[in-house]
Amino acid sequence: MADETKTFKQITDTIIPAIGGKDNAIEAFHCATRLRINLKDTSKVDKKTLMNMPLVKGVNINPTNKQLQIIFGPGLVDRVTAYFIKHTGIPAAGDSGDAEAVKEAGENDTKKKKGWFQNFLDDLTGVFTEILPGILAGGILIGLNNLLTQNVFGSQSIIQMVPGLSGVSKIIGIGAGGIFAMLPLIVCYSATKRYGGRPVLGLAIGAVMMSSSLPSMSDVATGAAKPMIANVFGWHVSMTSFGGQIIVALIMGWVVAKLDNYFQKHLPGVIQFVLAPMLTILFASLGLFLVIGPVGVALSKGITDALLWVANTLGVFGYAAFSGVQQLIVITGLHNMFGAVETQLLASTGHDFLNPLMSVALMGQGGGVVAYYILNHKNKKAREISISAFFSILFGISEPALFGINLEKKYPLVGGCIGGAIAGAFVYLVKLNAISFGTTGLTGIAIAAPEHNGYLMYFLANLIGVVFGCIFSLILSKFIKPSHEDEVGEKDASKYGQLN
């Protein structure tokens, strides 16, 4: 622990001067793998110094959005970011307690410059990064329960062979099912927090959405129940609960935050404590059942139907195209929108066909790294950075490979995309699916859907991505030649992996 703290201090002390000083930073936050710092001026960043810090797997600067991204990897990035924010005083994005400090630093001006779409993506990243551990836990628990209850290893399931595990299986099923059943409530909490409202009010409106006094949408759709009808000034409103409605939950989180901030600002201090939360929930509930709920449900259905239409209509070509370009989307940062889409897919269909496609796209880039290693194995630095990048790929993190090797050398990037596309076609042909999202690579097998020999097909699909990514990268290396083949950047690869 002492060594870790010492390393984090070294990182923090290096970052501040390397970004042009604390005054150049607006806010800091993290996604699943990267410390992200919004800056006033990206031209002041000393990328070489940042790359030479311990534990850093890559550095990316987005001048359009004025954002610095330092790649540390999952788990580690949480601890680095927490230490960095605590010891620098730089505001954390979405921290309502630092709202004034953020404004003083120019956050509002930066948001305008970034544009509504990039701000939307940043907010989605914040919302789903917050709740991803819960979703991941639920998905892996479902996968574990599938291993216990299905005939994966022979003619009998594990609980048939070991009856004492049947109770454990039931508890696991309840735990996993409870997480996904309450996803709208969890999303609403995170969205309210992200947009600067009091998170407990997000939980409150999430509870309204999931109210047990209302019939479920699925029961109403099948005719098993009738919707509750409410007369609101002559307007007959059909009311059901909103289980599985992630888009509605996202919108409601934003609405609750805006209402909460409005009432806190405009109500007198004497009555604010009592009336602000009450009025927030009252008006949010009215908006939920009168407008936002119906519109959000229609939008959710449209997104799900569109994805299923693309999958069913374009078939193998659609799968191949998506997995072929998915890692290019990661480079742009637009991949952060997939969290909301995947969550809605899971809530609507119980499966996520995008997850295995993302995994094989990742493994295609891993194949590109293997090709780079083969061509440069005599160079010590190339070997070290290749091995580090490939192991990151195996555990679902592509940024070290993308920004450390493939993007610079080009042929591994293109070859990896081709390998990913071929593996994506295989995913379609074997009907591979997932029961959750949030993890790819080796650990992604835990959330592979067991139908159609899912575990074996998952392994084969990812292997295909690596093999063909490597083959096509080797071929393309004959035609796409970097000017300095043996240079892998200034990063000292020996510093990788000091902490887990």
Q: Indicate if 358 and 491 belong to the same structural domain.
A: yes
Q: Indicate if 382 and 476 belong to the same structural domain.
A: yes
333 pLDDT band, cuts 50/70/90, is low
102: pLDDT strictly greater than 80: no
- pLDDT digit string, tens, across residues 267-301: 987 788 889 999 999 999 999 999 999 999 898 88
Q: Which two tokens stand for residue 121?
A: 């993506």
In the DSSP assignment, the letter for residue 32 is S
The answer to whether residue 327 sits within a structural domain is no
Per the rule left: phi > 0, alpha: psi between -120 and 50, beta: everything else, 93 is beta
Q: Indicate if 363 and 389 belong to the same structural domain.
A: yes
DSSP annotation string for 367-426: HHHHHHHHHTTTSHHHHHHHHHHHHHHHTT--HHHIIIIIHHHSHHHHHHHHHHHHHHHH
Q: Indicate if 371 and 489 belong to the same structural domain.
A: yes
Q: Indicate if 73 and 199 belong to the same structural domain.
A: no
φ and ψ at 155, to 5 degrees? -80, -15
**Out of 31, 188, 417, 470, which one is annotated catalytic?**
31
The answer to whether residue 323 sits within a structural domain is no
Report which of 19, 32, 4 is spatially closest to residue 61, judged by C-alpha positions. 19
Which of 118-122, 123-127, 325-329, 461-465 tops mean pLDDT? 461-465
Instruction: Supply the pLDDT for residue 113.
Output: 58
Q: Which two tokens stand for residue 269?
A: 């201090």
Q: Indicate if 101 and 121 belong to the same structural domain.
A: no
Instruction: Supply the pLDDT for residue 111.
Output: 60
Alpha helix ranges (H) inside 166-227? 166-181, 183-194, 199-209, 217-222
99: pLDDT strictly greater than 70: no
Q: Quick check: is 417 catalytic?
A: no
- pLDDT digit string, tens, across residues 358-414: 999 999 999 999 999 999 988 887 888 888 889 889 988 887 888 878 888 899 999
Instruction: Supply the pLDDT for residue 498.
Output: 36
Give the C-alpha separation, 131 to 125, whole Å. Answer: 10
Q: Indicate if 81 and 99 belong to the same structural domain.
A: yes
When pLDDT is averaged across residues 12-28 and rounded to a whole number, the result is 93
- pLDDT digit string, tens, across residues 196-221: 999 999 999 999 999 989 998 878 87
Q: Indicate if 100 and 123 belong to the same structural domain.
A: no
Residue that finishes a domain, picked among 110, 145, 162? 110
The helix (run of H) or strand (run of E) holding residue 28 is strand 25-30
Position with higher pLDDT, 7 vs 310: 7
* Rg over CA atoms, the chain: 24
Give the C-alpha separation, 316 to 143, whole Å. Answer: 26
105 pLDDT band, cuts 50/70/90, is very low
When pLDDT is averaged across residues 328-336 and rounded to a whole number, the result is 75
Instruction: Supply the pLDDT for residue 496.
Output: 35
Instruction: Supply the pLDDT for residue 492.
Output: 41
What pTM was estimated for this model as a whole? 0.70
Contact 130, 29 (CB under 8 A): no
Q: Which domain holds residue 413?
A: 351-495
Residue that finishes a domain, picked among 155, 176, 197? 176
Q: Which two tokens stand for residue 476?
A: 């393309």
The answer to whether residue 102 sits within a structural domain is yes
3-state secondary structure of 238: strand
The answer to whether residue 343 sits within a structural domain is no
Instruction: Supply the pLDDT for residue 119.
Output: 76
Q: Indicate if 122 and 192 belong to the same structural domain.
A: no
Instruction: Supply the pLDDT for residue 290.
Output: 93
Contact 451, 433 (CB under 8 A): yes
Position with higher pLDDT, 345 vs 170: 170
Instruction: Supply the pLDDT for residue 148.
Output: 87
Q: Indicate if 464 and 355 belong to the same structural domain.
A: yes
Q: Indicate if 66 and 166 belong to the same structural domain.
A: no
**Residue keyed to tokens 């019939």:** 215
Q: Indicate if 401 and 474 belong to the same structural domain.
A: yes
**Domain count within the chain:** 4
3-state secondary structure of 489: coil
